């Protein structure tokens, strides 16, 4: 079905959900494979705007279709930010789409990922009910923390209408180092050692196309210089200029390193598994890998989607699970763990299967 509906308010969204036997919400389409299901599509792009922002409380509430770029500008004006570095901000990604995709950027290393910052949601479930879950304050321990289940739900539990997040003060300054590891084993060792060090890196990523490790430090400028000297005394490398650092992190977060028309897959892993993953995938033509979050996330890009089956087999051999973000390939790659709690939440919020199943 090619229908695309675009409600402009929560009451309109409720009516749309009630009128469609099968549907899926979409945002800006920056992670296109997640919405390639043959059902009616409901765009959230008219559900935009910041509903409430309390800088003194470090929280905001915004509509699901609000572009992340708009949010970033509003927060920056008050010296605040979302520390998990959401992907595809410049490409137009929306708040709701980012939550549904469950993708967190390099900054997840120090302060946690998207799931650690979401406080509350307002959604429309499979029965057409407008529900509020969670709260609008940080100290809220009432009830089951359902908002976190919407992170990575791919729109399968309901249509997100409004979301509440906590934010952090922006750091006084940042400094990025590029370390030359030489081989994947050394790079994995750097990721492990630096992550558990007293340096408290803000981000720790393995760059695509080689074994260089990028370390981002955040805090008072003088302290960062001293920490940088310690790190560069431990491993060979260099400090990047502010312009080079900005360009490097922007290229990573906007997926400019990946094939625009190829396959892009997100893999959950640990740094211990990284060398084995690298060896297992080396023979794939045109392979590009960006490892983020200190080695706990890999983003894999391949030029041809016909390599998806081989990629899935090799991920299975390492007991790794992955989801396809872009490209004509199955939604899930590798192993497909399906916790009973996820099925229970799906049944509670969508008993009539109005939204696609978890495996569609």
Walk along the chain (360 residues) in steps of 10 and give the mean pLDDT of each run.
81 96 95 94 97 95 98 97 96 97 95 95 96 75 76 95 97 97 95 95 95 96 96 97 97 96 95 96 95 96 94 96 94 88 92 91
Beta strands in the chain (DSSP E): 4-5, 23-26, 40-43, 50-54, 59-63, 80-81, 118-124, 130-134, 159-166, 168-169, 173-180, 203-206, 212-219, 237-239, 263-268, 288-292, 297-302, 321-326, 332-334
CA distances for 251 relative to 49, 86, 246, 276, 318, angstroms: 27, 13, 9, 26, 29
Tokens of residue 177, six digits: 């180092």
Domain ranges of the chain: 4-169, 173-253, 263-329
The domain defined by 4-169 carries CATH number 3.30.465.10: yes
Rounded Cα distance between 354 and 18, Å, is 9
- Looking at residue 138, what is its pLDDT? 60
Rounded Cα distance between 329 and 315, Å, is 15
Question: Do the domains at 4-169 and 173-253 have one common CATH topology?
Answer: no
- Looking at residue 4, what is its pLDDT? 84
What CATH number belongs to 173-253?
Answer: 3.30.70
Rounded Cα distance between 250 and 88, Å, is 9
Rounded Cα distance between 178 and 89, Å, is 24
- Looking at residue 144, what is its pLDDT? 65
- Looking at residue 137, what is its pLDDT? 66
Paired strand residues for 322:
267, 333
- Looking at residue 3, what is its pLDDT? 59
Rounded Cα distance between 15 and 176, Å, is 49
Of 86, 63, 84, 78, nearest to 12 by C-alpha is 63
In the numeric block, the tokens 């945002």 are attached to: 27
CATH class entry, domain 263-329: alpha beta
- Residue 341 burial class via C-beta count within 10 angstroms: exposed 0-12, middle 13-18, buried 19 and up: exposed
């Amino acid at each position: 079905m090619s229908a695309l509906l675009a409600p402009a308010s929560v009451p309109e969204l409720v009516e749309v959900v009630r009128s469609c036997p099968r549907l899926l919400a979409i945002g800006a389409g920056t992670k296109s494979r997640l919405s390639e299901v043959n059902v009616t599509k409901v765009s959230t792009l008219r559900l935009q705007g910041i509903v409430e922002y309390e800088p003194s409380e470090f929280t905001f509430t915004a509509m699901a279709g609000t572009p992340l770029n708009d949010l970033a500008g509003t927060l920056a004006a008050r010296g605040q930010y979302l520390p998990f570095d959401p992907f595809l901000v410049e490409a137009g990604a929306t708040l709701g789409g980012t939550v549904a995709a469950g993708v967190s950027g390099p900054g997840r290393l120090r302060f946690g990922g998207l799931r650690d910052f979401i406080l509350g949601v307002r959604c429309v479930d499979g029965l057409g009910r407008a529900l509020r879950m969670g709260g609008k304050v940080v100290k809220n321990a009432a009830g089951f923390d359902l908002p976190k289940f919407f992170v990575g739900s791919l729109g399968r539990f309901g249509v997100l209408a409004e979301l509440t997040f906590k934010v952090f003060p922006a750091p006084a300054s940042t400094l990025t180092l590029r370390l030359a590891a030489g081989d994947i084993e050394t790079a994995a060792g750097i990721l492990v050692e630096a992550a558990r060090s007293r340096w408290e890196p803000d981000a720790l990523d393995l760059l695509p196309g080689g074994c260089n490790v990028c370390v981002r430090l955040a805090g008072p400028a003088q302290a960062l210089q001293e920490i940088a000297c310690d790190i560069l005394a431990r491993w060979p490398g260099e400090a990047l200029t502010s312009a080079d650092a900005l360009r490097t992190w922007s290229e990573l977060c906007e997926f400019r390193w990946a094939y625009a028309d190829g396959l892009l897959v997100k893999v959950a892993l640990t740094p211990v598994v990284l060398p084995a993953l690298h060896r297992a995938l080396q023979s794939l033509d045109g392979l590009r890998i960006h490892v983020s979050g200190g080695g706990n996330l890999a983003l894999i890009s391949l030029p041809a989607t016909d390599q998806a089956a081989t990629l899935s087999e090799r991920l299975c051999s390492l007991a790794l699970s992955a989801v396809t973000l872009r490209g004509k390939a199955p939604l899930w790659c590798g192993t497909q763990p399906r916790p009973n709690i996820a099925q229970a939440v799906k049944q509670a919020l969508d008993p009539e299967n109005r939204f696609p199943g978890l495996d569609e």
